[in-house]
Chain A
C-alpha cells in the first residue's frame, strides 16, 4: 500500500518535474504518479476541432456540428484510454550485469502488467536517451534500458520516464521514475597482452603449494564465487557443509598483480592494465592476488576471484 502524500507533496512542482527520488521498487504506477498532458499533436487536434466548429457555426451545418462533437468526444475519451494504458503498471528493478567501460550498460526493468489486457506501446525514455517502445503482454515483461558506460565505477540508471501515447497520440501519460539501480562498470582492459612476471617469493619453490587444477590437494569451506565445478559434492551430500576442492600441480603458480608493478602510468591507465591482467590470469586459470594501495585481495582463482578483483578495480578510489 502506498503511503498517503501530504498536501504539500501532492502538489509539489518538484515531484511533477523530477519524480519522487530514487526508490527501491517495485513501484506501482498509481493515480498520483501518472501525469497526463496533450502532445503537440493533441494541441493541433484541438485547434482543428475549433476551426471546424467555427465553420459549423457559420454555415449552421448540422453534420459539421456532428463531426466536431464526435471528434471532441474522441479526444476526451482518448485521455482515459491513454491514462489507463499506464495506470496500474508495476516497475521493478532487475539485476544489472557488470560491463567494461566502452560497452553498453543494460538495465533490465521488470514491467508487470497485472491486467488481463495487453498494454500496447509503452515507452521508456531514459534521461537524455532515445525512446524505446514495447507492447506489454499480461504478466511480467522484461525490458532493458541501455546506457553507454563511459566511466568506471557505479553507473546509476538515473531518472527515466515510463510513458505512453497510445491509442491516438493526442495525449501523453507519463511517470518520472528513479529506481535505486546501478551497474558496475569495470575499467576498460588495456590493449597490451601478457602477464607480469611472477613476483619474487610469490611462487613457492616446492611447486605444489599453489592452487592449480590438476591434482587434488585439500578441501576448504566454500566461498561465494568459487567455481561450481570445484565443489566437493560428496561432503555436501553427507550434509557436512559445502567445500571447495583445492588442487595443486606443476603448473600452479601464485601470481601477484600489483599496482606497484606499473610505475609511471596515471591511475586509469594502471587500472586498465591491471584489468587486462586479471582477465588474462583468469583465462589461464592460475591463482592470482591483487595488490592495490589500501586494498589487498589474497590469491585465489575462479569466477569469484575475477569478480572480486574487477570490482576492486572498478571502485578504486571510492570511499568504501
Chain B
C-alpha cells in the first residue's frame, strides 16, 4: 500500500517537531546533516525527487555513525544513543515506502521524545510533549486516511483523541504501581556540564557562582523555617590543601575511616524537611547541619556528608531530618593528623601570625582569628583582586578583599598553624522563602564555604569567618541580608511596584515549577505510597489499587463511548420520530411496516387487519401525510400528531 502524500507531509512535520529539541542538544555538525536529510525528504514529497540510491544511503549511514563515534567516543549511553537514534530516524525517512515504514518512523519518534526526557524534564518540555504527541497522532490519522488531505480534520481528531486519552494518562500516572528500585543497571551519567559546588575549591571558583540565579535545590520544611544563621547546607568537606586549593580527602586516597558514618549527640528535636535537588552530576546531597536521617540509596560518611550511591543526573526529592544543635563524637588520630596538615613553605606570614596563638586555649584562638578579621579592614567582595604565590598571605596582609572561600581558607590555615584541627566545609547558606507557596529556594548564588574547628568540649564546631565582617564593609547590598534573614532582598528594599510585581511573578512561577517537580517528576514509589495512604486507597493493598485503576479506566472509556455514540447519532427530524414511534407501537401488536410500504398502504393494511383501529389510524396517517407532503402548518399540526400518537394504545 502506497503512502498518501499528505500523510508523508504530516509525518515529516511531526518528526521535525520531535527532533528539534534534540538537534539543539547534539553536536553542531548534526544540524546540517539532519536538515539535509529532512530537506531531501521534503523534496521527495513536494517535488517528486527520487529516493536516494542505495550506495548513498549506506554512505550517509556511515557518515552518521562515524559522526556519533567521533563526537561521543561511544555508541551506547544516553547521549550517544539519542544521537544515533536521531541519525537513524533521518535515514529511515529517506527509504519511506510503505505504511509499515511510516509506522516504524513514528514509533522511533516516540523514542526520541522519551530520550529527550532523560536530559531535560522541565515544565516547557512537558508542554512540548503534548505538542509532539498531538502532531504524531495527526500524522497517524493522515496516514490512515488515503482519501485526501483534510488537515484541520486530522488536527481536530488528534486533539479529540488526546483529550480523551488524558484522563487515562492521569489515572495511570497516579495509580500505576511505581517501583522503588531500577530494573537493571545504573543509568549512565549524562554529559551535561554540572553547575554548583564542586569537589574542590581553588580561591575563586565559588565566586563564579555568585551571579547565577539558577536553583540549586528547594526545601519544604515540616514546621517553621529555622533562623537564617542556622541554614548551613552541608556539602563536600575539604581537608587537603596545597596552600591555594582545597580538596576532598578521598580525591587522592579513600581511607577506610571516611566511610564510617560520623557519630554525634543531638541537643534538640530534629527539623524535618523535603529537599528537591536539581541535578548536579555529582554524588553529594545537601543537608542541613547535621543530617539525622539517611534515606535509601544514600550513605552518611565520617564528615557528616550525605552521598548518593548514584550520580544525581535527574532531579531528586529527599525526605530528610537534621539536628541544628549537636555535640560530635571523638576525633580519630587520622582526622587529627589531617586536620593540622599544611603544605610546607607556603604562606609563611600567616603561619607566623598563628604561631603567636599556639599557647592559648582553642576557643580563644578561634576568637582571636575572628577578631582579626573583624578589626582589620577586611572587605567582603564579589570581585576580589588576584592573589600571588602565597595566596593566604596576600589575602590576610595585602588585598584583604575576598569572598567566603577566601575567609574560610584563611581561617582554616590560621587554625591549623595554631594547632587547632580545622577543615573547610562547602555547601550553601541561607536561601529565600517563596511567599507564594512557603518553601525555601536555595540558588547557586547562595553557594558558600565555611570552617569547622575541633574543640575538645564540643567536637566539630562550625565557624563562619565571613559572617563577622561588619555590614559596612560588604560591597554588595544584597550580601548583607544573607546571614540575617530568609526574606527576599528585593521585598525589603522595596524598589517600587514594578519590581514588586516582578518578584511576585517570579515567586509564582517558581511555585509552579516546584509543584511540577514535586508531583510530576518527583512522584515515585515513596510519594505514591504516601499519597495512596493518605487517600486511604492502600487499605486493600496493591490489588485494590489495580482494581480501582481498572474500574476508573473502564468508567472513562464508558464516558468516551457514550460521547461518541451521541455525537454520531443521526439528527432525525421530529416528524419522522413521531411517526416511527407510531409504527413502533403497531409493531408491538404484530403489525410490521415493510421497508417498501408507504404510509398510506400501511394504513390501509392496518385498517383491514384491525378494523377497530381504523379511526385513529387514519387520523394519524392523514396528519402525517399532510405534514410531510401537504401544506399543513407544522406549528399547529405537529402537536396534534404528537398528541394523537401519544393517546394511541393498540392492544
Interface residues of A (CB under 8 A from B): 26, 40-41, 44-45, 48, 51-52, 54-74, 76-78, 80-81, 84, 88, 114-117, 120-121, 131, 133-135, 138, 165-170
Chain A nearest CB from B514 CB (Å) reads: 14
Q: Using a CB-CB cutoff of 8 Å, which residues 90-109 of chain B contact chain A?
A: 99-100, 103-104, 107
Looking at B396-404, B413-421, B466-474, B558-566, the stretch in contact with chain A turns out to be B558-566
Are B143 and A57 in contact, with the CB atoms below 8 A? no
Give the residue name and chain of the B residue nearest to A59 (CB): B187
11 new A-B contacts, CB < 8 A, other than A48-B111, A81-B564, are A44-B104, A44-B107, A52-B114, A60-B179, A63-B129, A64-B117, A69-B168, A76-B165, A77-B161, A168-B137, A168-B144
Give the residue name and chain of the B residue nearest to A75 (CB): B165
Chain B nearest CB from A107 CB (Å) reads: 21
What chain B residues lie within 8 Å of A61 (beta carbons)? 117-118, 121, 314, 521
B interface residues, how many (CB within 8 angstroms)? 64
What chain B residues lie within 8 Å of A71 (beta carbons)? 110, 133
From A68, A80, A120, give the contact of B564 (CB < 8 A).
A80
Are A73 and B168 in contact, with the CB atoms below 8 A? yes
Can you list 23 A-B pairs, Cβ within 8 angstroms, ordered by A? Answer: A40-B100, A41-B100, A44-B103, A45-B107, A57-B178, A57-B179, A57-B183, A61-B118, A62-B520, A64-B118, A65-B173, A67-B114, A72-B169, A73-B172, A76-B168, A84-B565, A116-B567, A116-B569, A135-B147, A167-B161, A168-B140, A168-B141, A170-B140
What chain B residues lie within 8 Å of A74 (beta carbons)? 133, 137, 161-162, 165
Distance between Cα atoms of A55 and B130 in the complex (Å):
19
What chain B residues lie within 8 Å of A68 (beta carbons)? 114, 172
Interface string of B379-416 (1 = CB under 8 A from A): 00000000000000000000000000000000000000
Q: Using a CB-CB cutoff of 8 Å, which residues 539-585 of chain B contact chain A?
A: 553, 557, 560-561, 564-565, 567-571
Distance between Cα atoms of A166 and B146 in the complex (Å):
10
Distance between Cα atoms of A45 and B144 in the complex (Å):
15
Q: Using a CB-CB cutoff of 8 Å, which residues 274-299 of chain B contact chain A?
A: none
Are B172 and A59 in contact, with the CB atoms below 8 A? no
Chain A nearest CB from B542 CB (Å) reads: 15
Distance between Cα atoms of A299 and B412 in the complex (Å):
128
B253 at the interface (CB under 8 A from A): no
What chain B residues lie within 8 Å of A116 (beta carbons)? 567-571
What chain A residues lie within 8 Å of B560 (beta carbons)? 77, 80
Distance between Cα atoms of A48 and B104 in the complex (Å):
10
Are A77 and B114 in contact, with the CB atoms below 8 A? no
Distance between Cα atoms of A166 and B137 in the complex (Å):
12
Are B140 and A167 in contact, with the CB atoms below 8 A? yes
B536 at the interface (CB under 8 A from A): no
Q: Using a CB-CB cutoff of 8 Å, which residues 111-165 of chain B contact chain A?
A: 111, 113-114, 117-118, 121, 125-126, 129-130, 133, 137, 140-141, 143-147, 150, 153, 157, 161-162, 164-165
Distance between Cα atoms of A81 and B114 in the complex (Å):
26
Interface residues of B (CB under 8 A from A): 1, 99-100, 103-104, 107, 110-111, 113-114, 117-118, 121, 125-126, 129-130, 133, 137, 140-141, 143-147, 150, 153, 157, 161-162, 164-169, 172-173, 176, 178-179, 182-184, 187, 314, 520-524, 553, 557, 560-561, 564-565, 567-571, 595
What chain B residues lie within 8 Å of A135 (beta carbons)? 145, 147
Chain A nearest CB from B316 CB (Å) reads: 9
Give the residue name and chain of the B residue nearest to A135 (CB): B147
What chain A residues lie within 8 Å of B114 (beta carbons)? 52, 55-56, 64, 67-68
Chain B nearest CB from A234 CB (Å) reads: 30
Are B165 and A67 in contact, with the CB atoms below 8 A? no
Are A57 and B182 in contact, with the CB atoms below 8 A? yes
Chain A nearest CB from B596 CB (Å) reads: 12
Pick the most buried of A69, A73, A115, A135: most chain B CB atoms within 10 A of its CB: A73
Are B523 and A115 in contact, with the CB atoms below 8 A? no
Distance between Cα atoms of A214 and B187 in the complex (Å):
98
What chain B residues lie within 8 Å of A65 (beta carbons)? 173, 176
Distance between Cα atoms of A59 and B114 in the complex (Å):
11
From B117, B169, B565, give the contact of A73 (CB < 8 A).
B169
Are A70 and B166 in contact, with the CB atoms below 8 A? yes
Given contact pairs A73-B166, A76-B557, A120 touches B182 in the complex (Cβ within 8 A):
no
Chain B nearest CB from A71 CB (Å) reads: 7
What chain B residues lie within 8 Å of A55 (beta carbons)? 114
Distance between Cα atoms of A84 and B107 in the complex (Å):
25
Given contact pairs A121-B147, A167-B157, A67 touches B565 in the complex (Cβ within 8 A):
no
What chain A residues lie within 8 Å of B121 (beta carbons)? 61-63
Give the residue name and chain of the A residue nearest to B522 (CB): A62
Are A120 and B147 in contact, with the CB atoms below 8 A? yes
Are B570 and A115 in contact, with the CB atoms below 8 A? yes
Give the residue name and chain of the A residue nearest to B170 (CB): A69
